[in-house]
Structure 1
Amino acid sequence: MAAVQQQQRLLALLVLVLLFACGGGGRGGGGDGDSEDRSSSSTMLLIATADDDAGRGRGLRWWPPKTFDAVVDQQQKTVPAPPPGAGPPTTYTTIAEALTKGAGGRNQSEEEPKPYVILIKAGRYEETFNITGKNIFLVGEGIGKTIITGNKSNATGYDTVASATVAAVGDGFVAYNLTIQNTAGPANRQAVALRSKSNKSIVYKCRIEGYEDTLYAENGLQLYVETEIAGKVDFVFGNASAVFHKCSLLVRSPPPGKHNVITAQSCNNTSRDSGFVFQSCHVAADEGHAEKLKSVDTFLGRPHKNFSHVVFMGCDLGDVVNSTGWVPWNKDHVIEDVTSTVTYIEFRNYGPGAASDTRRRVNWTGVQVLTEANVTVAEKYTADRFIDANQWVPAGIPYEHGLPPPPPTAN
């Protein structure tokens, strides 16, 4: 009898272990076809409190935000901060105020401070600012509704770094549901809308809008999801390890006689420890620019540094993309030492700008149009492998864990 009871206890323990393994696995090992598991684990994570989740790490517990720490509303006057835990969040009239007076009052000595979440009400905010604190979240009320805008540029006396409308320097930056723009115009040279030097940063459902050097993905691990990025020359540039998932790269018309380049990635070492990966993205003319772009060459990228590293996979490449695909830094001067050391990869792309006839692509050693036989190479560029996304991206932010599906069959 004692032996039977012992067996029953062991069986019950085994059942509990199995239940925990099936239901409590969280985000470990995500791959193709795990969307159901993602949804259930997301629910579990989102109902946990910060204390309950203290051991999970920042990325797994802070999305979506449950409350706001500050509200920015141009229509209201700034009100005093309520006592801790009492009353509504503090309201400010500018984003800069919310950052300096609100977020600036946090204990910055903490290695992993609790996120400071700022709701920015609909409106046009003519501000430029640096975000130096960690885990600052900017949450808007919609693309084209909450607009943060500036117009600094190289032509008006600012270098590239100083021209940024928003500069995110503190790690853990998140932007959601808003527009960031630089309106300096196509003739004013470098004019950054967003500069991100924030490690483990996320831009989700936003529009980043400018002309030359729109998005400076400077350093660190970065993820962009369902975001529009508009510009003309080198409008996604920098040395970050960044994945762009289901984003729209929207090309604008340059000044007469000029050509467009989407990326200028600046890795400069043989380990290729940084790079840009565009997965399931869409490349097309921005609204109102299609007609002018018919006579303009637009390229996927050019090497800002010798080991420039860019991947397009599973992307819909529109007819704005030139059939040669890639271009030297100086269009009329090919430097073989550079073109042989870059890594420019295309895989499972489709649309009129894709490399359906690889003979039309530039004949550089570093340019590879992968076939299904090279799928193991492409797998290295999934978000979970390239930027360890499953280790820090919140479960509530959707992205593909594995490779994009094969291109749609033409009718």
Structure 2
Amino acid sequence: MGARLDKLILEAITNLNEPRGSDRVAIALYIEARLAKVFTMCFLEFLMASKYVNILPASGRKLLNGLVFPLLLPCLIFSQLGFTSMFDTLNLVKLSPLRKCLNGGSFGLCGFAKGSAFLCKLNKANPFKVAFTITVDIAGHGNFTTIQSAIDSIPSGNAKWIRIQIFAGVYREKVTITYDKTCIFLDGAGSRETFIEWDGHESTNTSSTFTSYAENLVVKGIGFKNTYNLGPKQNHLVQALSAEILGDKAAFYNCSFFGVQDTLWDVGGRHYFYQCYIQGGVDFIFGNGQSFYEQSVLYYSLETYGNGTYIGYITAQGRDSAEESSGFVFKDCVIHGRGKAYLGRAWKAFSRVIIANSKLSDIVVPVGWDAWQFVGHEDQLTYAEVDNSGPGADTSKRVPWLKKLSACEINQFLSVDKFINQDGWIAKLPTVN
């Protein structure tokens, strides 16, 4: 029964399926039961439920309407006992009743969420600042021959940074980091040397080559590829993800992501992408993450893999309400490729994307952006372009609802520290150089 409800919850919170009446009741009772286990300190079970809550969009949070009083009661009790930090650590303060009850909000400058307080332990005596390193070599010269087996070897509830060194090679496997496998540093030999490949395409939430539910994740020098759409030109492309990132505090350095449709699902949480390469043609960076992409390359490839005169979309950001602090910021990036594309379209009603100090090629269509299903509500969207260059950076023919940000807003969005790093979590990651 629990496994079936887990699946229903995941589908509901990602807006893939609307649960039926009986399922809505079952889901509500199921989450309530999981949350109630905090009284017996069943932390791992509680973390699972809290992760579902953490990535709920506004529409998904309606599932919890009947849980206000059950949540407020333990909230008040724990407030009196001085255990409010535990709720913050478990990342539950984003749920409105708890936020009001505990501390009036866990938000920093300009309403950007601070996120979870949980940080992994660093070992300063180690050059990588990790507790230890385990190795993966497809040729058999390491501790493991598959990446998944190395991840599975890490204890549930781990709180110390552990480095998994992955030697060069093409690892044809579907890799998942579950919510309880925190504090993992995946260290590849280079994004053109270490590849993880799979060809999943059944549905959006099952097709990803690499999926991470856990918070506190660092990845360096790995190429993630979904090979399904990457063959000869096709008349019908399908959703085939290379990566799906759900946990808070995830950082990717010098990584590459290859796909065509829905390449990178930046689901939710604070994420940092530095000097990465992301390739695709339709909504190839999408989701509701609060993410900063810096000095990265976005390569539009729809003309290469799709038949016909398609016009694709680079982003499809899913901010669902004005209260959410999520959004995509692209700073000092390069956007180019083959064909024509929109910079983005609104996946949800308050979609937010800022592109700044970047080079835009002539692949960008003159209007730049698409309101998609939210025509008539464009005032809720935040699409902004700041100090870009190149033939695609001309905004004279852009949509009239392109946002003009104030100097203060620009300063907030274009600062890594102010947008995603208020608590300094990036400085507390393992050494990646």
Tell me the TM-score normalized by structure 2: 0.65
Secondary structure class of the residue paired with 1:384: helix
Match of 2:361 in 1: 318
Query: How far off is 1:282 after superposition?
Result: 0.7
| Corresponding position of 1:25 | none
State the shift of 1:232 in Å: 0.4
| Cα deviation, residue 275, structure 1 | 0.5
Equivalent in the alignment of 1:85: none
Tell me whether 1:128 sits opposite 2:177 in the alignment.
Answer: no
2:140 to 72, 76, 88: 76
CA distance in 2, matches of 1:181, 1:59: 31
* CA offsets 1:170-193 (integer angstroms, 9 cap, x no match): 111111011011011164311110
Matches of 1:397 and 1:116 in 2, distance apart?
Answer: 9
1:29 corresponds to: none
Displacement of 1:256 in angstroms is 1.2
Aligned equivalents of 1:241, 1:59: Cα separation in 2: 24
AA paired with 1:363?
P
**Contact kept in structure 2, 1:213 and 1:231, CA below 8 Å:** yes
Q: 1:306 to 1:184 in 2, by over 3 A?
A: same
Equivalence for 1:386:
419
Q: Are 1:233 and 2:282 counterparts?
A: yes
Give the residue type in structure 2 aligned to 1:336. G
The structural deviation recorded for 1:244 is 0.3
Counterpart amino acid of residue 216 in structure 1: W
Quote the residue 1:65 is aligned against.
128
Aligned equivalents of 1:379 and 1:177: distance in 2?
30
- How far the C-alpha of 1:56 sits from its partner, in A, is 11
Letter in 1 for 2:212: A
User: How far 1:109 moved relative to its partner?
Assistant: 3.6
CA distance in 1, matches of 2:334, 2:321: 29
Please list, as runs of the form range in 1=range in 2, the aligned pairs for 1:172-211 lying within 5 A after superposition: 172-185=216-229, 187-211=236-260
1:336 and 2:376 matched: yes
Distance 2:341 2:263 in 1: 16
Deviation of residue 211 (structure 1)? 0.6
Contact 1:60 1:394 in 2 (8 A): no
**Change in 2 beyond 3 A, CA 1:298/1:64:** farther
Structure of greater relative contact order (alpha carbons < 8 Å, 6+ residues apart): 1
For residue 58 of structure 1, report the CA deviation from its aligned partner: 3.8
Letter in structure 2 aligned against 1:148:
I
Tell me if structure 2 keeps the 8 A contact 1:76–1:92. yes
Hey, what does 1:308 align to over in structure 2? 351
**Structure 2 vs 1, CA of residues 59 and 263 (structure 1 numbering), >3 Å: closer, same or farther?**
farther
Q: 1:299 aligns with which of 342, 349, 353?
A: 342
Aligned partner (choices 301, 323, 333) of residue 281 of structure 1: 333
Contact 2:219–2:251 (CA under 8 A) maintained in structure 1: yes
Tell whether the 8 Å contact from 2:122 to 2:160 is kept in structure 1 after alignment: no
Rounded to whole Å, the distance in 2 between the matches of 1:359 and 1:61 is: 53
**1:359, distance to aligned residue in structure 2 (A):** 3.2
Larger CA deviation: 275-284 vs 68-77: 68-77
Q: Distance in 2 between matches of 1:64 and 1:349?
A: 38
What is the rounded CA distance, in whole Å, between the counterparts of 2:271 and 2:173 in structure 1? 24
Percent of residue pairs identical:
30
Q: Check whether the contact 1:60–1:392 (CA below 8 A) recurs between aligned residues.
A: no
The ranges of structure 1 where at least 4 consecutive aligned residues each deviate by more than 3 angstroms after the TM superposition are 55-64, 395-398
Residue 97 of structure 2 corresponds to none
SS for the counterpart of 1:380 is helix
Shift of 1:397: 9.0
Task: For 1:109 and 1:207, locate their aligned partners in 2 and report how far apart those are by CA, in whole Å.
Answer: 28
1:161 aligned counterpart, secondary structure? coil
Gaps of 5+ in 2: 1-116
- Could you tell me whether the CA contact under 8 Å between 2:345 and 2:371 is conserved in 1? yes
1:5-404 maps to which residues of 2 (within 5 A)?
A: 57-58=119-120, 65=128, 69-76=133-140, 91-100=143-152, 102-103=153-154, 106=155, 108-109=156-157, 113-132=159-178, 133-153=181-201, 158-185=202-229, 187-252=236-301, 253=303, 254-285=306-337, 290=338, 293=339, 297-329=340-372, 335-337=375-377, 339-355=378-394, 358-364=395-401, 367-370=402-405, 374-381=406-413, 382-388=415-421, 391-394=424-427
Go from structure 1 to structure 2 and tell me whether the alpha carbon gap of 1:383 and 1:239 turns closer, same or farther (over 3 Å shift).
same
Query: Where does residue 81 of structure 1 map in the other structure?
Result: none
Describe the SS at the equivalent of 1:394. Answer: helix
CA contact (8 A) 1:171 1:200 kept: yes
Distance 2:382 2:123 in 1: 35
Structure 2 residue matching 1:162: 3-state secondary structure: coil
Distance 1:122 1:232 in 2: 28
Residue 65 (structure 1) shift: 2.1
Q: Quick check: which has more Rg, 1 or 2?
A: 1
Q: Distance in 1 between matches of 2:412 and 2:123?
A: 26
- Cα distance in 1 between the residues matched to 2:254 and 2:428: 16
- Residues in 2 aligned to 1:179 and 1:220: alpha-carbon distance in whole angstroms: 22
Give the SS at the match of 1:99. helix
* Matches of 1:326 and 1:397, distance apart in 2: 38
What SS is found at the alignment partner of 2:328? Answer: strand
User: What is the number of residues matched between the two proteins?
Assistant: 302
Computed over aligned residues only, the root mean square deviation of the Cα atoms, in angstroms, reads: 2.4
Residue type at the aligned position of 1:384: D
| Structure 2 counterpart of 1:189, one-letter code | V
What is the match of residue 73 of structure 2?
Answer: none
- The 3 A distance-change label for structure 1 pair 377 and 59 is farther
- Relative distance call for 1:353 and 1:69 in structure 2 (3 A) is same
CA distance in 2, matches of 1:75, 1:91: 11
Partner of 2:286, secondary structure, is strand
Q: Distance between the aligned counterparts of 2:278 and 2:121, measured in 1?
A: 24
